[in-house]
Structure 1
């Protein structure tokens, strides 16, 4: 994809002491020219299922009563050739931040860089949106913007045009990212017992043609997955 794009990023189980083995960060990539249409399409899907246009699509809201709605949302992603998804699954066991002179928050933004850098267009503009993680992210987001831009030799920021924190309940494609991230996390944690979520995971597996637990080829653009583990640890 070498046209101006919007990149919508979200994450799951990223806190250091939340008891979960993985942090999953993911991003939906959409051409800038198609983003408004994609948001309208998600509103239409909501309305078709009797939901208000501003109903927030979230992995944690999946239930048997709304299963058909979420299956339609997943199918919409796979049916729309303009949309792509990438996720980085990072194992938290074995992290040794002190050895790398970093905090857990520093590591979070490093992994976010690894997520974003592989979905940037080669020579066109990118507008990057991050879900609001906390109230202290402003300075780190500025630093992340600088690192991403410099990695692309975009010193005057003519390619990485924007890197902005937003609230996901206003952004439909970020909510879609949340659902796909949730499915990847559920699969990698080997969870079971929630029938509705299991059906969503299976639909994503079937449509993506992958297990959701292994790194894909870098060339996979529709559904790209990278598994990261600390040095000396086994996935």
Structure 2
């Protein structure tokens, strides 16, 4: 509870993308057949979303190290924003880090863990972790949102973008 309270009392923000139906992804039709390219397109989408306030803020982007090509993908996202904002991007720093070496990334991992635990229905299964269920309940209480349904698009403090691929079958 103390960590969750800390987050809600500080001028820091959390934003993630929730995708419940990964089996509906058709990379070969829409993403050049590459899950990694799709992943970084979604990173760009989350950063570029309408929930970002106007240029009054600067953002430092830290991402957990995903794979060996992640650095070049992140550099490409940075170049896209530099071009989009004619050299005056609100995203002033991009960096890959190991989440276990950074307390704020560990807090992010806690939030993502709670979101995915609920979205996958793990909290409803027999033998579900009582501690995880308590974290989910407390986080939903503090945020005012159900973790498996996403938030309002304009929510700034604790934003979950509920992205669901269409079922094309």
TM-score (normalised: structure 2): 0.85
Of residues 172, 181, 184 in structure 1, which corresponds to 2:115? Answer: 184
Instruction: Give yes or no for contact 1:120–1:126 (8 Å, CA) kept in 2.
Output: no
Q: What is the CA deviation profile of residues 206-232 of structure 1, one whole-angstrom value per residue up to 9, with x for unaligned ones?
A: 111111122321221122121111123
> Aligned pair 1:74/2:9, yes or no?
no
Q: Choose between structure 1 and 2: higher helix proportion.
A: 2
How far off its partner does 1:160 sit?
2.4
2:72 is matched with 139
Structure 2 residue matching 1:165: 3-state secondary structure: strand
Higher relative contact order at CA 8 Å, sep ≥6: structure 1 or structure 2?
A: 2
1:24 is matched with none
Give the alignment's Cα RMSD to 1 decimal. Answer: 2.0
Of residues 125, 149, 173 in structure 1, which corresponds to 2:82? Answer: 149
How far off its partner does 1:183 sit?
0.8
Task: Return closer, same or farther for 1:167/1:218 CA change in 2, 3 Å cut-off.
Answer: same
Instruction: Give yes or no for contact 1:188–1:213 (8 Å, CA) kept in 2.
Output: yes
Mapped to 2, the partners of 1:114 and 1:154 lie a distance apart of: 15
Of residues 18, 21, 27 in structure 2, which corresponds to 1:89? Answer: 18
Instruction: Spell out structure 1 runs of 4+ moving beyond 6 A.
Output: none
1:224 is matched with 159
Unaligned runs of 5+ in 2: none
Structure 1 residue matching 2:106: 3-state secondary structure: helix
How far off its partner does 1:169 sit?
2.4
Mapped to 2, the partners of 1:190 and 1:199 lie a distance apart of: 15
Q: Choose between structure 1 and 2: higher strand proportion.
A: 1
Mapped to 2, the partners of 1:160 and 1:125 lie a distance apart of: 6
* Higher mean C-alpha deviation, range 110-119 or range 219-228: 110-119
1:163 is matched with 94
Of residues 28, 37, 43 in structure 2, which corresponds to 1:112? Answer: 43
Instruction: Give yes or no for contact 1:86–1:225 (8 Å, CA) kept in 2.
Output: yes
